[in-house]
Amino acid sequence: MRFLVHGAVHPAAQEAMIKHEQVCHTVLELSAETDAPETLGNSPADLCKVLAKKQWNLLTTDTEFVSKLYEEKVPFAGVIVLLLDDPAVLHDQGPAIDRLFERYKRLTPRRLYTVTPSRVKIRQLPGANMG
């Protein structure tokens, strides 16, 4: 799967994604898809539309972005992986990604995977029940 890296994702998390045969992309790679790439991170609707066009998923640490996605009921057919850091443990994102893929070999579309320091939670994304 291909993932846009969004937010304060540590390089260890990206390395873990690559280890699990995922491809990571940056926001700069989306610049050809929009007139205002710097605003993509602020609008869930705009970003999700571009991600859907590229057939990319989202790896993020931005809880506000995910909250807006649900509040605005933005449909997204891809996968979102939300990493929640433990402030007491530095660089725990790599092991968190490993934990995600140990538990779930294949990620299901239209799902939010919230990876906390101790567990992985799954939730349907808005619009998941739409075709």
For residue 108, tell me if it sits in a domain.
yes
Domain containing residue 12: 2-124
Predicted confidence (pLDDT) per residue in 6-53, tens digit: 988 999 999 999 999 999 998 888 776 565 555 555 689 989 998 999
Predicted confidence (pLDDT) per residue in 65-100, tens digit: 999 999 999 999 999 999 998 766 667 899 999 999
Beta-strand relationship, 111-115 and 79-83? parallel
**62 alpha carbon, distance to own chain's centre:** 9
For residue 131, tell me if it sits in a domain.
no
Measuring CA to CA, which residue among 114, 113, 7 is closest to residue 62? 7
Beta-strand relationship, 111-115 and 57-60? unpaired
Neighbours of 97 (CB within 10 A): 26
Identify the helix (H) or strand (E) that includes residue 6: strand 2-6
Q: What is the pLDDT of residue 79?
A: 96
Q: Tokens in use for 35? A: 């007139």
For the chain, the domain total comes to: 1
Q: What is the pLDDT of residue 30?
A: 77
For residue 130, tell me if it sits in a domain.
no
For residue 19, tell me if it sits in a domain.
yes
For residue 103, tell me if it sits in a domain.
yes
